Structure 1
Amino acid sequence: MTALMDATIEQVAALGAVTEMLVSVERTIGSLLAARDGLLALGSRLAVETAEQSEEPSADGVDLAMRAVAAEFGAALRVSDRTLQRRMLDAELLVTRFPRVWRAQGAGVISAAHARIIVDAGTHLDDETRREEYSERMVAFARTESANRVGREARRVADRLQPRTVDARHADARQERRVWLTNRADGMAELSIFGPAALVHGAFDRVTAMAKAAAAGGEVVECAHGSRSGRPHDGRTLGQTRCDIALDLLLTGAPAGHDTTDGMLARITPTVSVTVPVMTLLGSGTVPAELNGCVPIDGRTARLLAGSAAGWDRVLTHPITAAVLAVDRYRPSAELRRHLTARDSRCRFPTCGYAARDCDLDHTEDHALGGTTDADNLGHLCRRHHVLKHRTPWHVEHLGDGTFAWTSPTGQVHIDRPRAQNAETFTEDDSPPF
């Protein structure tokens, strides 16, 4: 039976009505997103204007003003202020440099996806006349084409209108090379690399060739991350083998092109932090272990890491509330620092997720002004929010029990409480665990 051949007139009419409504909703969403970009761009301009009013305007002052405004927006929306600041910069780029594209999105002529692709491809068009010509041509093209087709055409048109050579543009683009981590569900994560195409494609081709060679035969070995490699009958796909080999190279390989004569970089080993309830460690718990305070991982991996660790902290928690009671270690170090790392687990600015181990330990009340060095006056702040606290109108107060109250420049108060510990809790009705 051919699909929809037996549909009634009423069903076809209903499908047409749903399609029309879907198109209308998509246009409305695009218009609202354009309105949001307008507001974000306005916030960016307010930050710049405020910074320029100071007696000694500077790039550092503009950046601090942007941080303060982004923090105001982020705390109100419960979104990371880093994310908001990136959105503000993107919105400013769209609204001020590509106003025709922004207006077309606001009118529902093109979608937000179309607008983003057009702006990305034309970002390096510095001449306003060429940029306007580019915008006009691409908005007209995008009216009847999908976003992926617009992307191909946009890159072609932008390249023809760009007076700078590919070599010059590539030299600038290389400055943006980076590696970043994205956590995923079920104990998984993504490691992304943005770099020169020739090198990235070459690395991918080499890993692929290694994966194919491993599938063709070889000795079964235990990889550094617990996977098995070798036999053609081990059941892995090419993608799985490619992943296992790439992780092995990153975890155990030496960067020959960057290492010192004494092999300093080759001696560096990876470090992760795992929080695992004792019942889970024993194999009978229901709360999964956590990696670096944010990613659940499987029990086998947690037990493997715990068993091979030279030392580990024991965090004693309340059996009902899971609040931190004490922290000790089989090889003790600074007790207070361990306690605060366990209590905070992350930066204590609302919406920030930076791990405590990557943060500064800050006195809420300045030590030079009489602030005490204890758990009720200390908290972890990432460098960004440490600077925000000291150099912008944002103010923080420690309410006790690890609770912080942040007051924004507009007077809004945002409460940040310690993250619940990764521990099992019990009620009086629960059976004893042993």
Structure 2
Amino acid sequence: MDLQRWCSLSQSPLPMGDTGDSLGDEYWMIRDAVELEDGSMLPSAEFGDALEAGLDAVGAAYDQTQRAQAFVVENIYRAHDVYVRSRDAVLAHSSAESHPGQLSDDQAMERSFVSEIAAKIGVTDRIAEGMIREAITLIDDLPQVMDAFRVGFTSYLHARTAARQAWSLPVEARADFDDAIVGAARTQSPTRFTQTARKLREKLHPESIQTRKNTAFDERRVEHDPAEDGMAYLSLYHSADVTTSIVEQATTRARALRAAGDPRTLRQIEADLIAESSTTGMLVTTASTADDDSADTPVTDTSDDTEGTGSTNAAPSDSGTVTLTRAQFAALRPGVVITVPALSLIGRSAEPADLAGYGPIDPDTANTLIGQATSFVRVLTDPLTGAHRHTDPKKYRLSEKMKREIRLRDVTCDFLECNAPAIYCDIDHIQAWEDGGLSTAANLHALCRRHHTLKHTTNWTPRRLPDGRVQWTSPTGINYVTRRE
């Protein structure tokens, strides 16, 4: 049906089934005019008014959200200003030499404020740290962008991008950056603005790109972000030539495999190629620097210790890629901790297992990982309370067995909103040993090095509650409870 015929359709009511009820104006859809005959009708003026009102409401709500976000930025800045002037209430000034980490008073203050904000709004330290740094940069160094943000001439996405691009600029160059960027912040889309901001930052930066590359290269890292349905994201922050080469090689190989009849999509093939090449490369490195014995994969169950062995030779698949055997994948999983309900372990329940640092995984995956383990760790628990049994509460030095069992129990760092795997954490006394604390399960917990240092350099204070959870009292006197599923 062409446009002219559509415009000439009758204004008569649209029949709605055998009852003859007409379709209300608010339910009119273009497909009704396209698929039905002359019984249809054009959109009424009321429909146009309703649509316009709805879009106006969306715009108003969005503007309100942006103003609220600007208010959050300003309040973070004010709270930070008050916090740094309250040093005596925040700093612990501990003289104990056995406590981990050496922070200056300024570093301890900043770390404590980050944890205050993170606990208050329920985010990780990393997210809170970024929000605080953005607020300080916008208000102190980019006042024109911040003003545009306050009055709604630009969005939080623009303001955030400007702040993050300014971070690598010397403080003395940020005023020129602010002046150069504010016009684009008010007129360009967030995507286009990001490109403009990067170019202006590059133009105004007094240091050569080589110098900055050398500095940034020291920050290379891998980040792991859990997702839903047993999946996760793995991000590599590395030199652009390296990451581009990885992507190009994976894409080229994936297209060749796809052309040869591989039934997987290009994205699936690329993901599988990168995963297989990464694990294979690590296997080769491990084999060249260690014996054939693979690391233990501890599992909390009620089995006796069991040993498993397997081949260490990778086998090529039909598609030309390398497929690792179960034993080879086991060799690449040092320190993986899986808690499996006993009934799920024997196939009598579908209750999920728990992968430390990630969360619930399906029983089939858990059983596969258990099948790859070279040994098991048996953890004894109280049949009534479920608490782990320990001995020698009056000894300060903990046995490796006790440390391992505390890590298996806690799974992650016991600080608020921290998901650092317990296998990389320190074991800390909740009530300090020098203050009469005992080496019991109730008085021990896993803390990552960051939060272990925070506890001993500031007045963040933990306390074990009767239900087993840990309550943290911040230097401002606010109580927060660590919640674990």
TM-score by length of 1: 0.79
1:367 partnered with 2:436: no
2:386 — aligned with what? 324
Q: Write the deviation string for residues 269-293 of structure 1: whole angstroms up to 9, x where unpaired.
A: 3322222223323334232222225
1:407 — aligned with what? 473
Bigger radius of gyration among the two: 2
- CA distance in 2 between counterparts of 1:386 and 1:161 reads 40
1:20 to 41, 46, 56: 56
1:135 partnered with 2:201: no
Output the amino acid matched with 1:67: R
| Unmatched runs of 5 consecutive residues or more in structure 2 | 4-28, 34-41, 94-101, 295-330, 391-398
2:24 — aligned with what? none
Q: Deviation of residue 343 (structure 1)?
A: 2.8
1:69 partnered with 2:113: yes
More deviation in 246-255 or 29-38? Answer: 246-255
2:298 — aligned with what? none
Q: Deviation of residue 317 (structure 1)?
A: 6.9
- Asked if 1 retains the 8 angstrom alpha-carbon contact of 2:460 and 2:472, the reply is yes
- CA distance in 2 between counterparts of 1:64 and 1:342 reads 29
Give the SS at the match of 1:85: helix
1:85 — aligned with what? 129
1:276 — aligned with what? 340
1:289 to 353, 364, 375: 353
| Unmatched runs of 5 consecutive residues or more in structure 1 | 218-231, 421-434
1:42 — aligned with what? 78
1:249 — aligned with what? 277
Give the SS at the match of 1:119: helix
More deviation in 281-290 or 389-398? Answer: 281-290
**C-alpha distance 406-154 of structure 1, shift in aligned 2 (>3 A):** closer
1:150 partnered with 2:201: no
- CA distance in 2 between counterparts of 1:74 and 1:346 reads 17
- CA distance in 1 between counterparts of 2:482 and 2:287 reads 47
- Asked if 2 retains the 8 angstrom alpha-carbon contact of 1:208 and 1:242, the reply is yes
- Asked if 2 retains the 8 angstrom alpha-carbon contact of 1:101 and 1:135, the reply is yes
**C-alpha distance 166-52 of structure 1, shift in aligned 2 (>3 A):** farther
- CA distance in 2 between counterparts of 1:52 and 1:341 reads 34
Output the amino acid matched with 1:155: R
Output the amino acid matched with 1:287: E
- Asked if 1 retains the 8 angstrom alpha-carbon contact of 2:134 and 2:163, the reply is no
1:100 to 130, 138, 144: 144
1:358 to 424, 434, 438: 424
1:9 to 45, 52, 65: 45
- Asked if 1 retains the 8 angstrom alpha-carbon contact of 2:382 and 2:388, the reply is no
Q: Map 1:224-235 onto structure 2 (within 5 A).
A: 232-233=261-262, 235=263
- Asked if 2 retains the 8 angstrom alpha-carbon contact of 1:346 and 1:355, the reply is yes
Output the amino acid matched with 1:263: T
- CA distance in 2 between counterparts of 1:150 and 1:414 reads 39
- CA distance in 1 between counterparts of 2:466 and 2:153 reads 53
- Asked if 2 retains the 8 angstrom alpha-carbon contact of 1:275 and 1:290, the reply is yes
1:196 — aligned with what? 239
Aligned residues: 393
- Asked if 2 retains the 8 angstrom alpha-carbon contact of 1:405 and 1:415, the reply is yes
Output the amino acid matched with 1:244: D
Output the amino acid matched with 2:354: E
Output the amino acid matched with 1:119: A
Q: Write the deviation string for residues 45-94 of structure 1: whole angstroms up to 9, x where unpaired.
A: 3444455999x9x9721111112222223223233334322321222122
Q: Deviation of residue 334 (structure 1)?
A: 5.2
- CA distance in 2 between counterparts of 1:390 and 1:98 reads 36
Output the amino acid matched with 1:346: T
Output the amino acid matched with 1:31: R
More deviation in 180-189 or 89-98? Answer: 89-98
Q: Deviation of residue 261 (structure 1)?
A: 12
Q: Deviation of residue 299 (structure 1)?
A: 2.9
Output the amino acid matched with 1:283: G
Q: Write the deviation string for residues 163-214 of structure 1: whole angstroms up to 9, x where unpaired.
A: 4333233233323322101100000000001222111101111222333444
**C-alpha distance 8-144 of structure 1, shift in aligned 2 (>3 A):** farther
1:117 partnered with 2:179: no
Aligned-CA RMSD value:
3.3
- Asked if 1 retains the 8 angstrom alpha-carbon contact of 2:338 and 2:354, the reply is yes
**C-alpha distance 261-34 of structure 1, shift in aligned 2 (>3 A):** same
Aligned identity (percent) is 31
1:340 — aligned with what? 406
1:427 — aligned with what? none
Q: Deviation of residue 264 (structure 1)?
A: 5.0
Output the amino acid matched with 1:22: V
Q: Write the deviation string for residues 74-130 of structure 1: whole angstroms up to 9, x where unpaired.
A: 2232333343223212221222111211121111110101112223334334364x5
Q: Write the deviation string for residues 209-266 of structure 1: whole angstroms up to 9, x where unpaired.
A: 333444455xxxxxxxxxxxxxx34x2112111111211122221499xx69963599
More deviation in 276-285 or 61-70? Answer: 276-285
